[in-house]
């Protein structure tokens, strides 16, 4: 299946413009990562500490009503999630919430006052201290770095070192772009966001490998043309496939974004951002870097 015919775009000729755009995105992403490392970003309770309480009601509870009830008692920023299996509700509040006494007790009192005809039991109550959140935040950043190093080693082993550098740059670009968007929009950084980042890292890498496979194949077939011409030709060859794959993935994720509910809203949004930048980087970041790196190696050897 093809949605566009044969193309002949000069992708490599646009690399100066796209490198400037990517540099700005990466800079914003680095600022966002720095804010996270310092603990000054909009962190979820997974990283900043707080209280999580799971309640099981005797009757269904509309999440909007539950949110309104909590807001009346000082929990206007509470994060609510519906839990499958019964009329269960998970409530998370950050450490910055100012209430008298333990937050878990205050949440219980709020629901008992607002839902007098709907009895409930507390199934679990967890306090996440700032020290645990701080360790989790640092461990997460280390995990992201280790995964990126693993990517460059895998690609360098499968292709060539220049391809490994290109894949690493593209994947790092996508990760930083997601951090940049969340940093600029002041969206909450939590474990779901980190899950989305690692998911997109894998998706972007797969897309990049498809392009690299075609470049390597054409390099073996054609030894006369320049690396720039072969990269342009290869990207145009797989462009239709790249667009179809990205479009179908984007539409599936968009349905989660619009109809999946508030719990996974930011998660789906992060995936949408990642899909867009993933396609962009496989064309405008990974391959141009292979061309530049490959040319330098040839000059050095000469």
Answer yes or no: do 114 and 63 share one domain. Answer: yes
pLDDT digit string (tens) for 179-201? 999 989 988 888 888 888 888 88
Q: Three-state SS string across 48-78, please?
A: HCEEEEEEEECCCCCHHHHHHHHHHCCCCCC
Rounded distance, CA 290 to CA 270, Å? 27
Percentage, residues of the chain above pLDDT 90: 16
Write the CATH number for 107. 3.30.70.100
Percentage, residues of the chain above pLDDT 70: 89
Is 207 inside any structural domain? yes
pLDDT digit string (tens) for 248-300? 999 999 998 988 776 788 889 999 999 999 989 988 998 899 888 766 555 44
Answer yes or no: do 58 and 121 share one domain. Answer: yes
Answer yes or no: do 84 and 185 share one domain. Answer: no
Instruction: Name beta bridge partners: 36.
Output: none
Entry pTM: 0.76
Is 5 inside any structural domain? no
User: What local confidence, expressed as pLDDT, does residue 30 receive?
Assistant: 92
> For 56-63, what is the mean pLDDT?
87
Answer yes or no: do 19 and 140 share one domain. Answer: yes
Is 2 inside any structural domain? no
**Residue 8 pLDDT more than 60?**
yes
Helix (H, G, I), strand (E, B) or coil at 12: helix
pLDDT digit string (tens) for 191-233? 888 888 888 888 888 888 888 888 888 888 877 788 889 899 9
pLDDT digit string (tens) for 132-159? 667 777 777 787 778 777 776 777 777 7
**Residue 239 pLDDT more than 50?**
yes
Number of Cα atoms under 13 Å in the Cβ half of residue 270: 28
Is 4 inside any structural domain? no
Among 128, 151, 175, the domain-final residue is 128
**Residue 301 pLDDT more than 60?**
no
Residue 82 CB-density burial (10 A; 0-12 exposed, 13-18 middle, 19+ buried): middle
Q: How many domains does the chain have?
A: 2
Residue that has been written with the tokens 């044969």 in this structure: 6
Give the CA radius of gyration of the chain: 24
> For 31-52, what is the mean pLDDT?
80
User: 274 and 178 in contact (C-beta within 8 Å)?
Assistant: yes
Among 76, 111, 128, the domain-final residue is 128
**Residue 69 pLDDT more than 80?**
yes
Is 188 inside any structural domain? yes
Angle between helices 63-72 and 103-114 (to 10 degrees): 110
Is 249 inside any structural domain? yes
**Residue 101 pLDDT more than 70?**
no
- In terms of Cα–Cα distance, which of 242, 244, 270, 265 is closest to 255? 265
Is 86 inside any structural domain? yes
- What residue spans of the chain are helical by DSSP H? 15-38, 45-48, 63-72, 103-114, 130-158, 161-184, 191-221, 227-259, 265-281, 287-301
Answer yes or no: do 245 and 116 share one domain. Answer: no
Is 6 inside any structural domain? no
User: 21 and 280 in contact (C-beta within 8 Å)?
Assistant: no
Query: What is the domain range of residue 78?
Result: 50-128
Answer yes or no: do 116 and 248 share one domain. Answer: no
Residues shown for the chain: 302
Answer yes or no: do 292 and 280 share one domain. Answer: yes
Answer yes or no: do 163 and 211 share one domain. Answer: yes
Answer yes or no: do 107 and 39 share one domain. Answer: no
- In terms of Cα–Cα distance, which of 49, 25, 22, 21 is closest to 183? 25
- Count the neighbouring beta carbons within 10 Å of the beta carbon of residue 145: 12
Rounded distance, CA 195 to CA 250, Å? 17
């Amino acid at each position: 299946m093809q949605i566009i015919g044969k193309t002949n775009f000069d992708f490599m000729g646009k690399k100066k413009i796209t490198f400037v755009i990517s540099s700005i995105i990466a800079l914003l992403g680095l600022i966002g990562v720095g804010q996270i490392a310092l603990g000054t970003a909009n962190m979820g309770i997974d990283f900043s500490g707080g209280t999580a309480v799971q309640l099981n009601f005797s009757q269904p509870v509309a999440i909007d009503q539950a949110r309104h009830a909590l807001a009346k008692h000082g929990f206007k920023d509470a994060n609510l999630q519906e839990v499958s299996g019964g009329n269960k509700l998970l409530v998370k509040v950050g450490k910055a919430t100012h209430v008298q006494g333990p937050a878990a007790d205050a949440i219980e009192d709020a629901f008992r006052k607002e839902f007098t005809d709907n009895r409930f039991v507390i199934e679990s109550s967890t306090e996440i201290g700032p020290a645990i959140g701080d360790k989790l935040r640092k461990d997460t950043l280390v995990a992201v770095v280790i995964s990126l190093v693993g990517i460059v080693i895998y690609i360098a082993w499968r292709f060539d070192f220049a391809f490994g550098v290109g894949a690493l740059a593209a994947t790092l670009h996508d990760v930083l772009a997601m951090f940049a968007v969340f940093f600029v929009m002041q969206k909450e950084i939590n474990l779901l966001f980190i899950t989305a980042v690692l998911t997109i890292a894998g998706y972007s890498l797969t897309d990049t490998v498809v392009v690299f496979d075609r470049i390597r194949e054409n390099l073996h077939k054609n030894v006369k043309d320049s690396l720039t011409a072969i990269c342009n030709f290869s990207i145009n060859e797989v462009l239709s496939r790249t667009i179809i794959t990205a479009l179908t993935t984007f539409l599936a994720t968009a349905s989660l974004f619009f109809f999946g509910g508030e719990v996974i809203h930011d998660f789906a949004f992060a995936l949408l951002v990642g899909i867009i930048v993933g396609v962009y980087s496989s064309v405008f970041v990974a391959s141009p870097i292979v061309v530049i790196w490959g040319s330098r190696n040839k000059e050095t050897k000469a």
